[in-house]
Amino acid sequence: MSTHPIHAETRFSFRTRILDYLWAGLPVVSSDGDAFADIIREAGAGRIVPAKDAAALADAIRSLLDDDDEFQTARTAAEGLRDRFLWQETLRPLLEFCAAPREAADRALMAASGGTLGGSRFERILMMPKGRRRDLAL
């Protein structure tokens, strides 16, 4: 179980305890807004509940504990996600960057525009060339 308020920190990162659950093949109950919420939901690896909704959280826990078929389906889905989130996979972008560092995408945009880019940092990130990991620029 992983619950938290919706915030930029949870949207662009994930709780390492969820990795432990996946590696153990355990279904996950998490609040929405986490970087893992969509992945868990799409894979069927557990239940996602609205943030700060204690009743929905209790229902999700009871549902998984009381319904053996739902629990086993979620467990199989969690096991299916295991290899995707091994440390050597999740750290791959960082290791690649460390092996071949490059200028930050927002600095390259500022240099190309003569340092006149306006707008908020978020707007500048949205203007980055496609194919860049925009979440890394935050």
Q: How far apart are CA 108 and CA 83, in angstroms?
A: 35
Residue 127: C-alpha distances to residues 57, 108, 134 (Å): 38, 12, 10
pLDDT 10s per residue in the chain (138 long)? Answer: 777 666 666 666 777 889 999 999 999 999 988 778 899 999 999 999 998 999 999 999 999 999 999 999 999 999 999 999 998 898 999 999 999 988 877 777 766 666 555 566 767 677 777 666 655 655
The confidence score (pLDDT) of residue 113 equals 67
Q: In percent, how much of the chain has pLDDT > 70?
A: 72
pLDDT tens digits, one per residue of 7-45: 666 666 777 889 999 999 999 999 988 778 899 999 999
Give residue limits of the domains in the chain.
8-86, 102-137
What 3-state class would DSSP assign to 54?
A: helix
Residue 4 bridge partners (DSSP): none
Q: Quick one: tokens of 44?
A: 């069927």
Reported pTM: 0.65
Contact assessment for residue 64 and residue 70, using Cβ atoms and an 8 Å cutoff = yes
The confidence score (pLDDT) of residue 105 equals 75
CB atoms within 10 A of CB 3: 16
Q: How far apart are CA 78 and CA 76, in angstroms?
A: 5
Tell the CATH superfamily of the 8-86 domain.
Glycogen Phosphorylase B; (3.40.50.2000)
